[in-house]
Amino acid sequence: MNVVVIVTVAHHASDGELALTPVHGEALLTHTVRGLLGVPEIDSVLVAAPQRCASLFSEVLSDLPCRVVPGSLRQAFAAVEPDLSRDSVVLLHDALRAFIPAETVREVINAVGDSPIVVPVLPMADTVKVTSADSLIVGTEDRTHLRTVQTPIGYTLPAFRAAADPWDVTGAALVDGHPDAMRVTTDFELSLAEAIAAAPKNEETL
Q: Report how far residue 196's alpha carbon sits from residue 188's, in angstroms, rounded to the nearest whole number.
A: 13
Alpha helix ranges (H) inside 38-186: 54-60, 73-80, 102-111, 157-162
Q: Where are the domains of the chain?
A: 3-112+152-167+178-198
pLDDT in tens, 90-116: 999 999 999 999 999 999 999 998 999
CA pair distance 80, 89, nearest whole angstrom? 12
User: Taking the C-alpha atoms of 61, 65, 66 and 70 in order, what is their torsion angle to the nearest 10 degrees?
Assistant: 60
Q: Give residue 121's identity as a one-letter amino acid code.
A: V
Query: pLDDT tens digits, residue range 70-94?
Result: 999 999 999 999 999 999 999 999 9
CA angle, 13 as apex, 7 and 18 as ends, to 5°?
Answer: 60
Residue 60 carries which side chain, given as an amino acid letter?
A: V
Angle (deg, nearest 10), helices 187-198 and 28-37: 40
Query: Using CA of residue 123, residue 183, residue 37, residue 23, what is the dihedral sign?
Result: negative
Predicted TM-score of the model (pTM): 0.91
Q: Could you check whether the bond before residue 200 is cis, i.e. omega within 30 degrees of 0?
A: no
For 27-63, what is each residue's pLDDT tens digit?
999 999 999 999 999 999 999 999 999 999 999 999 9
Q: Which CATH superfamily is domain 3-112+152-167+178-198 in?
A: Spore Coat Polysaccharide Biosynthesis Protein SpsA; Chain A (3.90.550.10)
Q: Of residues 130 and 90, which shows the higher confidence score?
A: 90
